[in-house]
Amino acid sequence: AFLPTPPFSPPTSIFAKLSMISFRSIFRFFLLAVCIYTYTYELIGMKYPTNDRGIVIVTGASSGIGRDTAFAIAAKSAAASSADSQSGFVVWAGVRTGEQATDLETAAKEAGLAARIRPVILDVTKGTDIASVADQVAAADQPLVALVNNAGVGSRRPFELEDFADVRSLLNVNVVGAFALTHALLPAIREAQGRVVFVGSIAGEVAAPLNTVYSASKFAV
């Protein structure tokens, strides 16, 4: 009679060696990741020092996230420095109409931030507005240290029901306008070693029903 062959069982030492190799590989990868992160952080910090004064442009500042961002930056700057607008940050708050500019100016005065918030007419879909702001930055006596591309619009409808005039309009605001403004102001930002911020959305990572065009625009930025 034939005796059954027992299943193969590698020596315990092999498993121990494999475990040790895996542990060492993970540990080395972790150390490498820490070194790369630290080096990159230090390199960026040396190349792009933190500015403590200058102009910060925030688009879409008439309401919502843009307005709150403008007031938050202005308030923090006012608390950290004197009332002299030459120290700390001055927020150029982009709005599309004179009425919105007046409303923002009034709100800034009521908040005691009139010296920190300056409304500027800036429709990111209009080349004339972009050129005007670029000229104002060039003529200013302070550096442009940050651009916050916040202006945006949304759309919630099935894609097959979208009007393509609305699709183009949304993409012009959320994507093309942000790129155009950044392109126009990049020389001034580079000179000041400043920052460019694009306000994204979770919709750019996780598309939801009825959000096709908006999600595409946020993925783009």
3-class state of residue 166 by DSSP: helix
Q: How far apart are the first and last CA of the chain?
A: 74
- Confirm if 149 and 59 have CB atoms less than 8 A apart: yes
| Secondary structure, 3-state, 123-166 | CCCCHHHHHHHHHHHHHCCCCEEEEEECCCCCCCCCHHHCCHHH
Residue 69's CB is within 10 A of a number of other CB atoms, namely 21
CA distance 183 to 178: 9
Q: How far is CA 209 from the centre of its chain?
A: 25
Catalytic residue, chosen from 37, 41, 48, 214, is 214
Task: Indicate the DSSP class of residue 145.
Answer: E
Task: Indicate the DSSP class of residue 4.
Answer: P
Cα–Cα distances in Å, from 202 out to 24, 72, 212, 213? 36, 22, 13, 14
Question: Is 214 part of the annotated catalytic residue set?
Answer: yes
Active-site residues, by number, are 214
